[in-house]
């Protein structure tokens, strides 16, 4: 029977999480600009950094941008637009700087577009405005992608646009803080903080059976922080299901957190690091399947760039 490597995830979509170990890493609250910046780059350097990323268009991104027929169906799928009725929240508008960069720098007519000045270069003010649209006004849920009659992966284009913003140092500070935490600890919280006490309490409350025996691929038992009681209950419920079906499963401290803040922020290096922590740990302990709940774009982050990181196929099966 396959060994399940069960991974729990927590939100990574902009929720203000301030666990105790983030002390000393918090953002400056003495000043509150209308937008956030990281690093000390000049405005010109930020625009250039974002533009360099955006002109490295792959074939897929180019085809998607060329295929848009401006039908507006994606707007009707977006819950931000449906709720507010404000045209600025339409998915196509959120991608406007990305579209401009493509048609000005990388399209087949780019030399003519530049010569005639048909499309102006995005400015730092444009990027500051789009920080809110790309991060705070989009969850990359994929509803727009599913409804597009041309098959354009709009959510993926938003992720690529976020990568340009990340390189330019124009990520909302609360997300940048989470990014720094994940880079340092491999999770939004220190693995050492995962409490055995909370796991024991969870077992007593929900009456689940820990699979940590000599027959399991690892001796580590599932754990969960006491500060997330609703998630602890969900983990215990999943454990009961897996035990009931007779699966051999575990949660491992080397790869217990599926939420991928790198994917969410456009930090591709961190996205790979966090995904590899899950997959490589599963391979190390002999698990054949990684079971991912959905939160923090866990599934999309794990599968999105698998061909770049692992070749044509992942070394383990990932199910959603």
Q: Coil, strand or helix: which one is 91?
A: helix
CA dihedral of residues 135, 139, 140, 144 (deg, nearest 10):
-110
Residues 165 and 195 reside in one and the same domain: no
Where in the sequence is the domain holding 13, given as residue range(s)? 3-19+185-319
Measured between its terminal Cα atoms, the distance across the chain in Å is 19
| Number of domains making up the chain | 2
Inter-residue contact 245 to 257 (CB < 8 Å): no
Percent of the chain past pLDDT 70, that is, above it, reads: 72
Q: Work out the pLDDT band at 236, boundaries 50, 70, 90.
A: confident
Last residue of a domain, one of 171, 198, 223: 171
Inter-residue contact 149 to 12 (CB < 8 Å): no
Does a structural domain hold residue 24?
A: no
Which residues, 6 or more positions from 69, have their beta carbon under 8 angstroms from its beta carbon? 149, 150
Percent of the chain past pLDDT 90, that is, above it, reads: 11
Q: Work out the pLDDT band at 215, boundaries 50, 70, 90.
A: very low
pLDDT in tens, 3-58: 555 555 444 333 344 444 444 444 444 444 457 888 888 888 888 888 776 666 67
Mean pLDDT of the chain: 75
Residues 242 and 264 reside in one and the same domain: yes
Q: Using CA atoms, how far apart are residues 306 and 317, in angstroms rounded to an integer? A: 12
Locate all alpha helices (DSSP H) within 55-153, ordered by sequence.
59-67, 73-77, 79-84, 91-94, 96-105, 110-116, 124-131, 143-147
pLDDT, residue 220, reads 32
pLDDT, residue 296, reads 54
pLDDT, residue 197, reads 47
Q: Using CA atoms, how far apart are residues 226 and 205, in angstroms rounded to an integer? A: 13
Q: Using CA atoms, how far apart are residues 274 and 188, in angstroms rounded to an integer? A: 11
Last residue of a domain, one of 120, 145, 171: 171
Is residue 177's pLDDT more than 50? yes
- Residue 291, Cβ neighbours under 10 Å: how many? 19
């Amino acid at each position: 029977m396959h060994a399940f490597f069960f991974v729990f995830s927590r939100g990574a979509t902009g929720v203000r999480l301030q666990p105790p170990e983030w002390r000393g890493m918090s953002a400056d609250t003495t000043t509150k600009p209308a937008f956030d910046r990281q690093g000390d780059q000049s405005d010109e350097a930020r625009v250039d950094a974002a533009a360099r990323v955006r002109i490295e268009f792959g074939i897929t991104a180019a085809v998607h941008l060329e295929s848009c027929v401006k039908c507006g169906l994606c707007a009707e799928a977006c819950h931000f637009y449906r709720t507010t009725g404000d045209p600025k929240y339409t998915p196509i508008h959120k991608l406007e700087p990305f579209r401009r960069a493509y048609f000005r720098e990388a399209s087949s007519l780019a030399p003519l577009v530049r010569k005639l000045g048909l499309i102006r270069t995005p400015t730092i003010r444009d990027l500051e405005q789009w920080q809110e649209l790309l991060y705070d006004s989009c969850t990359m849920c994929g509803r727009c992608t599913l409804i597009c009659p041309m098959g354009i992966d709009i959510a993926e284009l938003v992720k690529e646009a976020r990568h340009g913003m990340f390189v330019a140092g124009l990520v909302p500070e609360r997300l940048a803080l989470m990014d720094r935490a994940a880079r340092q600890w491999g999770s939004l919280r220190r693995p050492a903080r995962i409490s055995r006490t909370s796991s024991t309490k969870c077992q007593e409350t929900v009456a689940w059976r820990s699979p940590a025996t000599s027959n399991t691929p690892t001796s580590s038992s599932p754990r969960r922080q006491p500060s997330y009681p609703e998630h602890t209950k969900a983990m215990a419920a999943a454990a009961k299901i897996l035990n009931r079906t007779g699966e051999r499963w575990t949660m491992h401290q080397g790869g217990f957190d599926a939420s991928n803040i790198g994917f969410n922020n456009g930090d591709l290096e961190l996205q790979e690091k966090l995904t590899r922590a899950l997959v490589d740990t599963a391979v190390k302990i002999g698990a054949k399947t990684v079971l991912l709940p959905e939160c923090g774009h866990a599934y999309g982050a794990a599968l999105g760039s698998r061909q770049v990181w692992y070749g044509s196929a992942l070394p383990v099966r990932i199910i959603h």
